[in-house]
């Protein structure tokens, strides 16, 4: 009886052992496969970060010298290899290819960088309803009205914060960094088109040649006012001192500029003004042009029919007024902006505008 029981149990034991062996082999296979997948994933990620390192190295080179030679170069490192080369471009834009290799994984990327040219024509900005080279806060985007033919772009090289969007209407926006809408985001997404308009970067190094050009060619139309580092207020009492025959008003070296209770028809240029305040009762029919590298605070309220151009803002500009882009009003002042004499400082201003992976193997 015991022998018969032994003969019955033996095949069962063998079958159980075979099943355990199969399970153990399957687990080992899965473990090895998972380990191999993990290794490949680690190499996949390493190759990406090596390519990112290549991109940052290129940006560092171009920030120091836009005309520097970019590759082709390859570097061996402990974790693998990275490299880069210039594959196309012009004086404003360059297309760069970078790659990273970790063991058997190689990933290649292309990106486009943009820098300001050494000369800019201010008249190029006339297609913008509101241009800001810097950070911009818009209190209510619904207060900016542009024609239905998509003329009148809102162009910003930095971040944009829109506190609210109270009125659903179409806007064309070109923002190179981030856009945040606190209230009215549904309208913003529905009625806003994002475009790539070759947004210029006005990193203005010297404006003396521009003002000299204005003086030499339009002396009868340009009125220069030197604030001598004091305060200037334009209101209903002092505005009569401004010359009605002029079309361009240049205010320079002002500690605090305020406009209220008055209307100005023309091109208003503010240069080396530390604080700018256009109050609710200010009316501008024309163009506001600010050279803001020395400006610590910009607050624009009131009503503007024309456009607003804020160049080289070192801090934040705050727009809390009403703006209607009027191409006919803007075009009146194109003759005063059509010189390519404004110098740009290209050092340190390099912006990545496109980045995508082109190959993985």
- Whole-angstrom distance, CA of residue 291 vs CA of residue 269: 8
pLDDT over 50 (residue 247): yes
Specify the pLDDT at position 19. Answer: 72
Same domain, 224 and 269: yes
Residues 248 and 355 in one domain: no
Q: What is the mean pLDDT of residues 45-72?
A: 88
This prediction has a pTM of: 0.73
**Least confident range of 68-77, 108-117, 149-158, 239-248:** 239-248
Q: What is the pLDDT of residue 307?
A: 96
What's the rounded Cα separation, in Å, for the pair 251 and 238? 15
Percent of the chain whose pLDDT exceeds 90: 43
179-195 mean pLDDT: 84
Both 154 and 34 in a single domain?
Answer: no
In this structure, the answer to whether residues 204 and 340 fall within a common structural domain is yes
**Token pair recorded at residue 41:** 């994933």
For the chain, give the mean pLDDT: 84
pLDDT of residue 9 exceeding 90: no
Q: Are residues 92 and 135 in the same domain?
A: no
Please indicate, yes or no, whether residues 302 and 194 belong to a single structural domain of this protein: yes
Region 193-203: mean pLDDT is 79
Domain count within the chain? 2
Asked whether residue 226 falls in the same domain as residue 324, the answer is yes
Q: Is the pLDDT confidence value at 241 over 60?
A: no
> CA-to-CA distance for 313 and 132, rounded, in angstroms?
7
Note whether 168 and 308 are same-domain residues. Answer: yes
C-alpha distance across the termini of the chain, in Å: 67
Whole-number Å distance between alpha carbons of 303 and 29: 73
Rounded CA separation 325/231 (Å): 30
Q: What is the pLDDT of residue 17?
A: 72
Residue 71 DSSP symbol: -
pLDDT given for residue 5 in this prediction:
52
Q: Which of 59-63, 84-88, 258-262, 280-284 has the lowest mean pLDDT?
A: 59-63
Confidence of residue 10 (pLDDT cuts 50, 70, 90): low
Containing structural domain, residue 56: 2-115+351-360
- Supply the pLDDT for residue 239: 54
Across 88-117, average pLDDT = 88
Mean pLDDT of the region 170-187: 86
d(CA 297, CA 136): 12
Same domain? 235 vs 162: yes
Residues 101 and 131 reside in one and the same domain: no
Q: How far apart are CA 203 and CA 134, in angstroms?
A: 10
CB–CB of 202/311 below 8 Å?
Answer: yes
CATH of the domain at 26: 3.30.1300.30
Q: Are residues 151 and 198 in the same domain?
A: yes
Over residues 251-278, the pLDDT tens digits come to 999 999 999 998 888 999 999 999 999 9
Phi and psi angles of residue 162, each rounded to the nearest 5 degrees, phi first: -110, 110
- Asked whether residue 321 falls in the same domain as residue 183, the answer is yes
pLDDT of 240 over the 50 cut: no
Nearest to 347 by CA among 55, 67, 57: 67
DSSP string, 134-186: SEEEEEEGGGEE--TTS-SEEEESS-EEEEE--S---EEEEESS-EEESS-HH
């Amino acid at each position: 009886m015991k022998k018969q029981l032994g003969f019955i149990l033996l095949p069962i034991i063998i079958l159980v052992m075979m099943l355990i062996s199969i399970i153990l082999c399957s687990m080992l296979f899965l473990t090895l496969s998972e380990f191999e997948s993990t290794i490949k994933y680690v190499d996949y990620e390493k190759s990406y970060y090596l390519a990112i390192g290549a991109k940052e190295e290129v940006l560092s080179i171009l920030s120091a010298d836009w005309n520097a030679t970019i590759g082709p170069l390859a570097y061996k490192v402990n974790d693998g290899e990275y490299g880069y080369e210039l594959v196309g471009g012009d004086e404003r834009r360059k297309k760069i290819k970078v790659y990273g290799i970790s063991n058997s994984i190689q990933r290649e990327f292309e990106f486009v960088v943009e820098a300001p040219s050494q000369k800019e024509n201010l008249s190029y900005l006339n297609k913008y309803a509101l241009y800001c080279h810097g950070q911009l806060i818009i209190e209510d985007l619904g207060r900016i009205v542009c024609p239905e033919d998509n003329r009148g772009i809102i162009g910003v090289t930095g971040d944009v914060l829109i506190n609210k969007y109270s009125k659903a209407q179409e806007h064309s926006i070109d923002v190179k960094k981030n856009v945040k809408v606190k209230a009215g985001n549904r309208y913003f997404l529905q009625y806003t088109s994002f475009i790539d308009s070759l947004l210029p970067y006005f990193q203005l190094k010297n404006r003396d040649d521009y003002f000299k050009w204005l003086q030499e060619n339009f002396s009868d139309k340009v009125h220069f006012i030197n604030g001598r580092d004091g305060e200037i207020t334009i209101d209903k009492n002092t505005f009569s001192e401004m010359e009605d025959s002029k079309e361009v008003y240049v205010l320079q070296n002002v500690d605090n500029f305020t406009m209220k209770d008055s209307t100005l028809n023309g091109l208003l240029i503010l240069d080396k003004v530390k604080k700018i305040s256009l109050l609710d009762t200010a009316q501008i029919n024309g163009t506001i042009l600010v050279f803001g590298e020395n400006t610590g605070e910009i607050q624009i309220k009131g009503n503007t029919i024309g456009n607003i151009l804020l160049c080289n803002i070192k801090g934040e500009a705050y727009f809390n007024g009403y703006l209607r882009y009027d191409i006919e009003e803007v075009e009146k002042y194109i003759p005063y902006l059509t010189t390519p004499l404004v110098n740009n400082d290209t050092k340190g201003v390099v912006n990545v505008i496109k980045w995508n992976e082109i190959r993985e193997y």
